[in-house]
Amino acid sequence: MNIVNYPDPVLRQRAKPLTEINKEVYLKVEEMMELIYQAQGIGLAAPQVGWSVRLFIIDVDGDLHGEKVFINPVITEEVGELNKEEGCLSFPGIMGKVVRAQRIKAQAYTLKGQKIEIEAEGLAARAWQHEIDHLNGCLFIDKMSPASRLAISHQLKEFERSYKGTRIPV
């Protein structure tokens, strides 16, 4: 399992709900956990590893404690607005300013199938919104201002030129 880079088509697909939590899911989540820590990221959505299901991992503090895996997440409330720079593991080396809600409330399921409610603000809220966008086939470059997008256009073209289109499905 590897992190896929833009412009891999899986990044533009709307992920399907995860309907069963089985051994295969646990194994893939374990691999995703290894990848996120190797890449020193704070969030990783299943589509970013070529697995088009509604699941992501978030660990904004890197402490390895608490619930980090969220299945079939839904944001139920957004409050405020912040325009901050963010990056993405599927766009190595690219950063850009994106407007996101300052605080959110959300619901998701754990790996044990328990429904949970989350309240997050700041970086955690930003990460939730970013990862849910991935599940909807929306990328952070889609939310950048035209000026920010123009500033990285040469890097995006380079990703597009170097994309081979070959990937082993997960």
Q: How many residues does the chain have?
A: 170
Q: Which stretches of 38-167 are assigned E, i.e. beta strand? A: 43-45, 55-58, 69-79, 82-87, 95-100, 103-109, 115-121
131 flagged as catalytic: yes
What are the structure tokens assigned to 98, written together?
A: 């994106």
What are the structure tokens assigned to 29, written together?
A: 């989540």
Q: What distance lies between CA 51 and its chain's CA centroid? A: 12
CA separation for the pair 25, 19 (Å, rounded): 11
Candidate list 81, 117, 131, 158, residue with the active-site label: 131
- Cβ distance 15 to 53 under 8 Å? yes
Residue positions annotated with a catalytic role = 131
